[in-house]
Chain A
Amino acid sequence: MLVSNTTIELIYLVATALFILALKWLSSPSTARRGVWAGELGMLIAVAGTLLHHGIVDYKWLVIALVLGSIVGVPLGLVHMTAVPQRTALSHAFGALCVTLVGTAEFYLRAPAVPPLMMLVLAMEVILGSLTFTGSLMAAGKLQEVLPQRPITYKGQNVVNLGVLAGAVGVAGYLVAHPYHTSLFPFIIGVPLLFGVLMIIPIGGADMPTVISLLNSYAGLSAAAMGFVLDSKLLIIAGALDGASGFILSVNMSKAMNRSFSNVLFGAFGQVQAAAHGTAEARPVKSASAEEAAAILAAANKVVIVPGYGMAVAQAQHKVRELYDALTKRGVDVKFGIHPVAGRMPGHMNVLLAEADIPYDRLVDMDELNPEFPQTDVVLVIGANDVTNPAARSDPSSPIYGMPILDVDKARTVMVIKRGMSPGFAGIDNPLYYLDKTLMLFGDAKQFVGAIVREFAGGGGHG
């Protein structure tokens, strides 16, 4: 039951079209699931077509590998929504592993007579693949908290990192000119593997959305390079789409953190954390109880809830949904303000809130929501800090000066659920907390929101 190469190429052509349609349909939540089906269909026909390739002589290992991969894949598809960032990082690692292994095998099949251009794309494939592999594993380890999350920085770090990368590129350049020195090939795998580790060492949790996007882009580009090596247009296109997607997300994330793109490209993350340790004198704040907070919320017409990573850590999203229901029932207009870098990966907050059954049309992007804050009665900040810090707008000495923020300080009343007065992840003091209109609600996010909900259910009634 073998089919001709032309037939396989035509199948790949259809698969390519389905892949592009898959991403096109992802533009809106109403058509997005159709996009997944298109992607699945494209994948299915491409794999089926490949299995009919006439060059394949032994199916035993193929079947074992496909079954084994599915067994590994199913639990990775069923992880809890809060674990999605580390799952994503892990899948970047798997993708990069596949590309690196194939590149390595292709090199040794062709060696020692590898034409220079072929050697060039092979080198790009394995360098990008192996640095993405260890980089993504490190990122996944930090997100899963198996590795210390604190960024580790030292003097001259960028010089060391760039030196290591330059070493790998140098060896690759030498191999392009002298491909018969096959003993050098392991270096263009080993050195980038080391670089991947070094690259992630200075990364802190707040930088993760940018880093995951960047690794996504690298994984895509390495797959595209593999497409060049194998002369597979399907793979080139899929890799280019993935690379473009990761690139757009990285640019979005770096804009949302007010970092230049070159800053992102050269991996100079984690510097803000190191720079920030300023004034931390005890200033007076106003605090309130759950009962008072419930009364203020009940009197409001327009409420905006601003969730951050703290909400995910406290697993408070389901309690937040109960609060949303209680307020909506009373006729209060409730929206959620989503900062692009809230959480640990792009879109993280949206997924968590959607999981808690909050309608997606209530989740509003920063740019769209900011003009509405002056007309907002109450803002409730849950587990977010730096993305609400007005110093980013007003204080040029602040390390986050210039970063776009949610203008929550323009609302009439601001309530902030926070464990204590310790500064946020980046170690930056937040002047928002000392405003006259701000009430601090001290406690665990889940318990505090739960207490507010109980006030509504019990004491409030219809008055």
Chain B
Amino acid sequence: MFKSPTKWRIMKNLIFKEIDELIIGSLGIVCFLSFFIGAVVTIQTALNLNNPIIPKYLIGFTARQSIILEFSPTFISIIMAGRMGSYITSSIGTMRVTEQIDALEVMGINSLNYLVFPKLIAAITYPFLITISMFIGIFGGYIAGVYSGYLSSEEFIFGLQDSFIPYHITYAFIKTAVFGFLLATIPSFYGYYMQGGALEVGKASTQSFVWTSVAIILVNYILTQILLS
């Protein structure tokens, strides 16, 4: 991938284009999902904590832990395996089917560098998306919890701050960075090395989604064991 790299003038534009498509383009769906999942997590917690001796601020605590530790890094990444992964596999796969990759190679361009490297660099900014997801998720939880009358604003904010371990943020971002790498590489592999026609592009997209999701779940387990045990 790093042999005969594309000229920086071109590569710079490709990287910005991929950041726009993969990261900025995903903001809408990520914000929507995060807000409502954050809200549902809060409501579910509130409805299940009906013992009067359990303090209500634990609702805020649970929302924070669920969103920061698992929902934003892991489940948003699985959703992104569908959105980003399908986009990457189908766009590269279509280029393969329509001889656009052959055209690059015949021109003497390192097609792997030209097509995959910008996506890999764009994936470095993936934690930015997850940071937004965390904020929006907690905000959704706050709105649902406070405005539905399950707890007060002060209780929710106290719960958010209670027993806060900064290392959990580090853990979440280590996971996110690894997932970002998986989200860029596995779909690129399936797109770049696919063979056949239009039907195979669809099959490759499905396969890439399945294997990226499997990889995220497995790596999530392994990283959790390593980093939190």
Do A and B belong to a common assembly? no
Residues in chain A within 8 A of chain B (CB atoms): none
Residues in chain B within 8 A of chain A (CB atoms): none
